[in-house]
Amino acid sequence: MNLEVVIPIQDKDTRLLEECLKSVKRAVIGMINLHMVDLSSTRSDLYKKMAHSYGLRYSYLDHQEWNKPVAANYALKRTDSDWFGVLDGDYIVEEKFFRKNIKRNWIKLFPAM
């Protein structure tokens, strides 16, 4: 089983995003693919650099207003993972977040197509 987690962003506070990425990387287990989808941020070069430094795939959607479902659908159409989840760029997750929620089948609410 593998999981795709998309983090949609648009001009997110870099300190909050950095803390989110640190917490997500500590929590990653097994086959979890992370994908940052940038909805036309003005600091896209910085976000791309951050994404790559944490091992995330990065996509930029040009001329796109903030719309989390657009980012989620964009990533969902490009995943080959079995399961799919969305995480806000200012969330701080505990170290066992994914492990606990996979066991509870919480993440299985969003099977990839």
Residues 83-96: tens digit of each pLDDT: 788 899 999 999 88
Q: How far, in Å, are 27, 38, 54, 76, 83 from residue 94 at the CA level? A: 7, 24, 17, 24, 20
- Which residue segment(s) compose the domain that 28 sits in? 3-109
Q: Which has more pLDDT, 26 or 19?
A: 19
Q: Is the pLDDT of residue 102 over 70?
A: no
Domain count, the chain: 1
Contact status, residue 58 vs residue 48, Cβ threshold 8 Å: yes
Contact status, residue 85 vs residue 4, Cβ threshold 8 Å: yes
* Cα 79 to Cα 32: distance, rounded to the nearest angstrom: 11
Q: What letter represents residue 82's amino acid?
A: D
* Cα 34 to Cα 25: distance, rounded to the nearest angstrom: 9
User: What pLDDT score was predicted for residue 109?
Assistant: 42
Cα angle for residues 10, 52, 13 (degrees, 5° grid): 30
Give the CATH number, domain containing residue 63: 3.90.550.10
Q: What letter represents residue 95's amino acid?
A: E
Q: Is the pLDDT of residue 82 over 70?
A: yes
Q: Is the pLDDT of residue 46 over 80?
A: yes
pLDDT band at 108, cuts 50/70/90? Answer: very low
Q: Is the pLDDT of residue 74 over 50?
A: yes
Q: Is the pLDDT of residue 78 over 80?
A: yes
